[in-house]
């Protein structure tokens, strides 16, 4: 039976990992016959099926005021408590309005009860679900205990209450095995693992004009080699290793292109990377454009690029992250059949590497052997094709929409019985 499903978070806009996964989940659910609706503080979804509440955005001025007074200190002023409660109550009313307006049968909360970027929103959702027993999937991407900036705080009572809560009408989904174990250890909450996914059943169509168009925009020549760093510019992405790789390749045709903008965590790292590139004599290009979500259900009017435009133009992909909850960019590179250099971050080693991917790997630093492997790949089309075809086949078995479809069907049956299996 068809269900109305409401996605809630602080933001569904741009190309952060949470937004992209939410869009893919919605795409799968629509394919199963259900209808999806959206609630967030920042949105780029169809207005007819969404509700934007600016106060729910984690960068709303009231929430920034709260965060400045609750993180990095152990004591909470009564005025801050009153403000948190005030914002929580207003948001709870808007959530109630959202559920009523669109006749929501089930909620999917994307990281809103996981990382406390917006404490009042998490509390509002927890109270609303406790009061209504609305069937809810809490999809957790990165928990507060995984980030040092939340380790000292004055809201331990709220974090234990809502990040995440243990409620009878709520099912919990995590994206890796370490998160599953830590969640159970800290809270006693059981969960299932649904990794990040892509539509490997339907390979992407590469735009024929893409290569020339992007090279023209970046001022590159046709024989230049595009080394793509397809991530946001934040320090944990380890982009300095991509700079080192390009320097050591010592080929003037190699240009490092960073696809996403800086901003979520400031601009200091981006400025440092630019200076390092100048010092190393590396040709670094930043697209400096708003990246569009290619899985958004609304046709975008933006002139910016989407991942579907960027990846086909790459000759090689770097993904030297220091830490990831899963690794969207890795999966995207495999989907677009590009050779990849990957830093063996903890979740990759534990959950992804055992699947049998064929990759160039590094362990926190670049060796001459690693650089030699990259050179060989850039020179040998036969080796590249063998690598990318193997990786696509492995990912198709473990990270396709079919995996998500199966788990969502199980969760719907848990909530609604057999009527939830198919719309």
Mean pLDDT computed over 358-387: 94
Higher pLDDT, 271 or 14: 271
pLDDT band at 206 (very low <50, low <70, confident <90, very high): low
Residue 171 reports pLDDT greater than 60? yes
- Are 110 and 137 in contact by the 8 Å Cβ rule? The answer is no
d(CA 125, CA 131): 10
pLDDT band at 287 (very low <50, low <70, confident <90, very high): confident
pLDDT tens digits, one per residue of 216-265 = 777 888 888 999 998 888 888 999 999 999 999 999 999 999 987 766 66
Per-residue pLDDT band for 139 (boundaries 50, 70, 90) equals: very high
Q: What is the pLDDT of residues 54-91, one digit of tens each?
A: 999 999 999 999 999 999 999 999 999 999 999 999 99
Asked if 396 contacts 356 with a C-beta cutoff of 8 angstroms, the reply is no
The pLDDT value given to residue 423: 58
| Homologous superfamily of domain range 210-398 | Glycogen Phosphorylase B; (3.40.50.2000)
- What does the pLDDT average to over 177-203? 95
pLDDT in tens, 75-133: 999 999 999 999 999 999 999 999 999 999 999 999 999 999 999 999 999 999 999 99
How far the first Cα of the chain sits from its last, in Å, is 4
DSSP letter assigned to residue 285: E
Split at pLDDT 50, 70, 90, the class of 325 is confident
Taking residues 336-364, report their average pLDDT: 94
Q: Residue 208: what pLDDT?
A: 46
Q: What does the mean pLDDT of the chain come to?
A: 91
Q: What pLDDT, on the 0 to 100 scale, is given for residue 288? A: 64
* Least confident segment among 197-201, 231-235, 304-308, 318-322: 304-308
CA angle 201, 202, 206 (to 5 degrees): 145
Question: What residues does CATH 3.40.50.2000 cover in the chain?
Answer: 4-197+400-420, 210-398
User: What pLDDT shows up at residue 267?
Assistant: 83
Q: Which residues pair with 316 in a beta bridge?
A: 227
CATH architecture of 4-197+400-420: 3-Layer(aba) Sandwich (3.40)
When computed from its CA atoms, the radius of gyration of the chain, rounded to whole angstroms, is 22
Mean pLDDT to the nearest integer, 335-346: 94
313 pLDDT band, cuts 50/70/90, is confident
Rounded CA-CA distance 9/22 in Å is 10
pLDDT value at 418 more than 90: no
Written as one string, the DSSP assignment of 81-102 is HHHHHHHHHHHHHHHHHHHHHT
pLDDT of residue 289: 59
Distances (CA, A) of 265 to 6, 234, 236: 28, 7, 11
Instruction: Return the residue matching tokens 């569904």.
Output: 12
Q: Please, which pLDDT band fits residue 422 given cuts at 50, 70 and 90?
A: low
Confidence of residue 210 (pLDDT cuts 50, 70, 90): low
């Amino acid at each position: 039976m068809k269900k109305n499903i409401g996605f809630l978070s602080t933001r569904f806009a741009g190309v952060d990992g949470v937004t992209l996964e939410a869009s893919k989940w919605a795409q799968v659910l629509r394919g199963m016959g259900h209808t999806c609706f959206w609630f967030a503080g920042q949105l780029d979804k169809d207005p007819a099926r969404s509700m934007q509440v600016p106060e729910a955005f984690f960068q709303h001025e009231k929430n920034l005021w709260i965060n400045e007074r609750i993180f990095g200190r152990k004591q909470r002023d009564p005025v801050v408590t009153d403000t948190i409660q005030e914002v929580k109550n207003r948001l709870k009313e808007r959530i109630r309005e959202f559920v009523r307006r669109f006749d929501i049968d089930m909620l999917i909360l994307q990281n809103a009860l996981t990382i406390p970027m917006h404490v009042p929103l998490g509390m509002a959702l927890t109270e609303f679900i406790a009061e209504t027993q609305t069937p809810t999937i809490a999809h957790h991407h990165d928990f507060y205990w995984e980030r040092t900036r939340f380790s000292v705080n004055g809201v331990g009572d709220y974090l234990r209450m809502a990040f995440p809560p243990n409620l009878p009408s709520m099912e919990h989904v995590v994206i890796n095995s370490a998160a599953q174990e830590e969640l159970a250890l800290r809270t006693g909450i059981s969960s299932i693992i649904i990794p990040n996914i892509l539509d490997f059943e339907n390979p992407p169509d590469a735009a024929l004009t893409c290569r020339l168009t992007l090279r023209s925009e970046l001022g590159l020549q046709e024989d230049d080699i595009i080394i793509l760093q397809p991530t946001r510019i934040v320090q944990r992405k380890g982009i300095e290793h991509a700079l080192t790789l390009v320097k050591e390749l010592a080929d003037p045709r190699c240009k490092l292109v960073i696809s996403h903008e800086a901003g979520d965590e400031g601009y200091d790292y981006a400025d440092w990377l630019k200076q390092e590139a100048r010092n190393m004599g590396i040709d670094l290009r930043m697209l400096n454009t708003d990246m569009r979500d290619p899985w958004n259900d609304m046709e975008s009017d933006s002139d910016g690029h989407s991942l579907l435009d960027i990846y086909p133009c790459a000759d090689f992909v770097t993904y030297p992250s220091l830490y990831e909850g899963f690794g969207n960019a890795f999966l995207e590179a495999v989907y677009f059949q590009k050779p990849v250099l990957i830093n063996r971050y903890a979740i990759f080693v534990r959950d992804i590497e055992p699947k049998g991917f064929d990759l160039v790997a590094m362990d926190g630093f670049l060796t001459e052997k690693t650089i030699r492997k990259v050179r060989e790949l850039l020179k040998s089309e036969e080796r590249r094709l063998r690598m990318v075809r193997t990786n696509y086949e492995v990912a198709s078995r473990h990270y396709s929409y079919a995996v998500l479809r199966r788990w969502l069907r199980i969760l719907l049956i848990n909530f609604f019985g057999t009527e939830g299996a198919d719309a």
